[in-house]
Structure 1
Amino acid sequence: MRVIFNLAWKSVLNRKTTALLVVLTVAISVVLLLGVERIRTQAKASFANTISGTDLIIGARSGQVNLLLYSVFRIGNATNNIDWQSFQKFAHHKAVSWAIPISLGDSHRGFRVMGTNQDYFTHYRYGRKQPLTFQAGKPFKGLFDAVIGSDVAKKLGYQIGSKIIIAHGISDVGFSRHDNLPFTVVGILKPTGTPVDKTVHVSLPAIKAIHVGWESGAHIGATPSANTLKQHSFAPQQITAMLIGLKSKIQTFALQRTVNNYRQEPLSAIMPGVALHELWSMMSVAEQALTTISAFVVIAGLLGMLSSLLTSLQERRREMAILRAMGARPNHIFALLISEASLLTFTGILLGLLLLYALLTIVSPLIEQSYGIVIDFTGISNYEWHLIAYIQLAGIIIGVIPALRAYRQSLSDGMTIRL
């Protein structure tokens, strides 16, 4: 068998150009298949790591996916608000360890503005229960202080001390801006790879203050100056949602049932992990489509290798006849073609793995910056090893077709071949 592999290696080297094209085809197929699998699994992990350590999310009565989207991912809008008294009731519940209020509805140059309090910077966790940390500055303290995410600072070029104008609603247009009430950037958060990076954070009293004169949703009343507003204290009347951390995980279902049956107003309490699983299940169609496309690319690459082997086989009939004349048996010819196909597939897989990790090194920072998906440089998983084994096995099976043809031809060709 060792002699067969040595002969197969020399035969491949004798056809460098053709062999190189076959290897590149297999390598590109491996890069696409494993690359899609790696990005799929890392995207799923990043999705799940957007929020951690939060036991319940409470919002107005709606579906759990909708509540998760607007409260965590800042996508869409709430069906209704929560009364501030309801927040205080559940924040002081005996089972609750901490509670974070969230108020949404405004924006700044395409980025969502979120009103909250100091507990957000203390208790909010993402990833593997990682806390929010500051790249520069500190949490907001004054009425018109703002803390911005890393993407906001990078894309808009903001630094500590920069002035920003918040707009009423999601559409940042001239007539909806609070032009006379600029905020000052006092803190910039470190990148998290989550929607936090794309959020402008202000205090709940600030949200109340900038909407003086906007009670009907339009600017129809007089808006006091910033100095005038600073002399007053503003207490929120409503919020969009609240994040809850419990003293004990055992109390999760009991509190969820209490919230869902709350009679003062219709509320929903969801568990982030369950809602994330449901959200990812809704995206499974696109996930399966990507995997299917990758599989077809691998099949196309292997068919390209088959075409190359069959084409070269016609030109190598004299070579096979010479090997037969030197004592090679038909089964040796069969094994030689199988070995060549295996060698080309194996080399293509190795090259594909090298290209994959080189490509991930280059594009992973771009993917993290653009889409918030953190790609960890881990070893090959068990599932990826199975995919590699399937590709190798498919390469061997593909080699059977030209090997059978060579086997039959070697029995009849002899030294005089009809070319």
Structure 2
Amino acid sequence: MRALLRLAWQSAMNRRFTLGLTVFSIALSTFMLLGVERLRADVRESFTSAVSGTDLVVGARTGSVQLLLYSVFRVGAATNNIRWHSVQDIAGMRGVAWTIPLSLGDSHRGYPVLGTSSAYFQHFRYGSAQPLRLREGKPFEDLFDAVLGADVARQLGYKLGDRITLTHGAGGPINATEHDDKPFVVSGILAPTGTPVDRTVHISLEAMEALHVDWKAGMRIPGQNVDAQAVREMDLRPRNVTALLVGLQSRAQVFSVQRQINNYRGEPLMAVLPGVAMDELWRVIGTGEKSLLLMSGLVAFVSLLGMVAVVLAGLNERRRELAVLRAVGARPWHVVGLLALEGALTTVLGVIIGVIALVASALLAGPWLLNQFGLVLSIGNITTMQWWILAGLLATGFIASLLPGWRAYRLSLVDGLSPPV
């Protein structure tokens, strides 16, 4: 074995350029395979971690997927609202630790506006139970303060102190009505989270009420126009909200509290477990994950074929070398063992370089990907599929080296000491 190692090293030094191309090909294959698989896993992780630490999502009775879509992902609309009295009753239920009211309906230049309370910044969690963090500024303190998500501030170029106006409803290009009589001031900008929070404009529940004191049934009341100064003196306690996030004192109480809410007599409500609803929603929209998985398999197939082709292509320049080895007494297993050992070492080196390149790229590009695309890369969590990919690359590299070894042995029998024509 020592002699084979020394011989393999000397042979490698004589073929530095070809060997370098082979190592580069394997490293690139490793980088692409693990990168696609990591991307596939992180896309699902980013989706399922949009809300973390919330035990129940409460809303008007509808489908669990629809409730999750409008309350967490700001997509669609609620079938009905929750009366504020019901919100207070739920907050006082046994086992409830905190509640976060959510009021939706308005927008700003295509981004949803969320009315909420200070509990949102205290208790809302995403990812691995990470709290919201302000990149600059502070949460809303004045009635007309607004806190922007990272994407909103970046895409629209806002900074602290800028004045913005909100749009009534979804804000379509036709007949969009601005709340231009009640402008807001940007008081804070949140750090990127990779969740729908980044694409949301946050205001207080009282501010949401202030916007609509002179509105009824989705239309401005004719002849009434309460300006921003006059509205400050009015009673702005919320009358209803769109949804409610609930945190419990103990996870063991989740089904008990869920049953109380589902049987609430004040109005028809439903409470869903966000994890269960996420799984249902992912089964509906998880085609993208399957596409990435298919892409990963195609990349694996093409990459491994390329690796075998590179090894076989380098065989012709070694026919004289192998013929000399046979002439000086090398046995068949020496020839096969030499190429198998070279292939195994080359594969290991290429895989190591590919893994290092992937980790380095993720560390360097991770903040940029989070800011530009809201994608969180979690390099530390190695998936089962990634372990299988690494094992498959190493095994295939070794098997790929056996085929050239067997072919080299057959060629050496007929080549003798003459160079190939």
Would you say same fold, with TM above 0.5? yes
Identify if the C-alpha distance between structure 1 residues 276 and 86 changes in structure 2 by more than 3 Å, giving closer, same or farther: same
Identify the match of residue 387 of structure 1 among 384, 389, 398.
389
- Correspondence 1:352 to 2:354: yes
Compared CA separation, residues 345 and 131, structure 1 to 2 (3 A) = closer
Partner of 2:280: 278
Q: Percent identity?
A: 47
SS of residue paired to 1:415: coil
8 Å contact kept, 2:335–2:409: yes
Instruction: Report the RMSD for the aligned CA atoms in angstroms.
Output: 2.5
- Spell out the pairing of 1:297-376 with structure 2 (5 A cutoff): 297-376=299-378
| Separation in 2, partners of 1:308, 1:234 | 73
Matched residue, 2:186:
185
Q: How does 1:18-57 map onto structure 2 within 5 Å?
A: 18-57=18-57
Retained in 1: the 8 A contact 2:99–2:245?
A: yes
Partner in structure 2 of residue 161 of structure 1: 161
- Cα distance between partner residues in 1 of 2:11 and 2:239: 80
Per the alignment, do residues 252 and 80 of structure 1 end up closer, same or farther by CA in structure 2, a change over 3 Å counting? same
* TM-score, normalisation: structure 1: 0.90
Q: Deviation at 1:349?
A: 0.9
- What is the Cα deviation at residue 377 of structure 1? 4.4
Report if aligned partners of 2:27, 2:352 keep a CA contact under 8 Å in 1: yes
Q: 1:58 aligned to 2:58?
A: yes
Aligned mates of 2:81, 2:316 — CA distance in 1: 75
Pair 398,231 (structure 1): closer, same or farther in 2 beyond 3 Å: same
Matched with 1:17 is 17
Q: Which residue of 1 aligns with 2:250?
A: 248
- Secondary structure, counterpart of 2:337 in structure 1: helix
Change (3 A) 1:304 1:122: closer
**Residue 280 (structure 1) shift:** 3.7
The number of equivalent residue pairs is 419
The answer as to whether partners of 1:34 and 1:384 remain within 8 angstroms in 2 is yes
Shift of 1:282: 4.1
2:320·2:417 contact (CA, 8 Å) conserved in 1? yes
Q: How far does the alpha carbon of each residue in 1:340-363 deviate from its partner, in whole angstroms, 9 at most, with x for none?
A: 322322222122122212221232
SS in 1 for 2:168: coil
Structure 2: 5+ residue runs without aligned partners? Answer: none
The 8 Å contact of residues 40 and 293 in structure 2, kept in 1 or not, is answered as no
Provide the secondary structure at the position in 1 that maps to 2:4: helix
**Which sections of structure 1, spanning at least 5 residues, go unmatched?**
none
Query: For residues 133 and 292 of structure 1, do their structure 2 counterparts lie closer, same or farther at Cα, with a shift above 3 Å needed?
Result: closer
Structure 1 residue 57 displacement after superposition: 0.7
Contact 1:9-1:343 within 8 A present in 2 as well = no
Distance 1:418 1:125 in 2: 68
Q: Which residue of 1 aligns with 2:237?
A: 235
Q: CA deviation at 1:103?
A: 0.4
Distance 1:417 1:135 in 2: 69
Q: Does the 8 Å contact 2:112/2:170 carry over to 1?
A: yes
Query: Does the 8 Å contact 1:330/1:410 carry over to 2?
Result: no
Q: Tell me the alpha carbon deviations over residues 64-87 of structure 1, each in whole angstroms, 9 at most, x when there is no partner.
A: 222222212223322322222322
Change (3 A) 1:36 1:308: closer
Q: Per-residue deviation at 1:176?
A: 1.6
Query: Does structure 2 retain, via aligned residues, the 8 Å contact 1:349–1:388?
Result: yes
State the one-letter code of the partner of 1:195: P
Give, in whole Å, the separation in 2 of the partners of 1:128 and 1:415: 65
Matched residue type, 1:338: A
1:103-148, Cα deviation, whole Å (9 max, x unpaired): 0111112321111122222322333434334344433233322222
Match of residue 404 from structure 2: 402
Distance 1:58 1:379 in 2: 32
8 A contact 2:26–2:354 mirrored in 1: yes
Which whole-Å CA distance do the structure 1 matches of 2:384 and 2:7 have between them? 33
Corresponding residue to 2:417 among 406, 415, 418 = 415
- Distance verdict in 2 for CA 1:418–1:235, change over 3 Å: closer
Please identify, of 311-320 and 64-73, the stretch whose mean Cα deviation from structure 2 is larger: 311-320
**Distance in structure 2 (CA, Å) of the matches to 1:112 and 1:144:** 16
In 2: Cα distance, 1:36 partner to 1:305 partner: 18
1:268 to 267, 270, 275: 270
**Aligned-partner residue type, residue 66 of structure 2:** N
Letter in 2 for 1:390: G
Is structure 2 residue 114 aligned with structure 1 residue 114? yes
Per the normalisation by structure 2, the TM-score is 0.90
Q: Distance in 2 between matches of 1:52 and 1:283?
A: 20
What SS class does the counterpart of residue 38 from structure 2 fall into? helix
SS at match of 2:79: coil
* Stretch of structure 1 that moved more, 402-411 or 127-136: 127-136
- Partner secondary structure for residue 316 of structure 1: helix
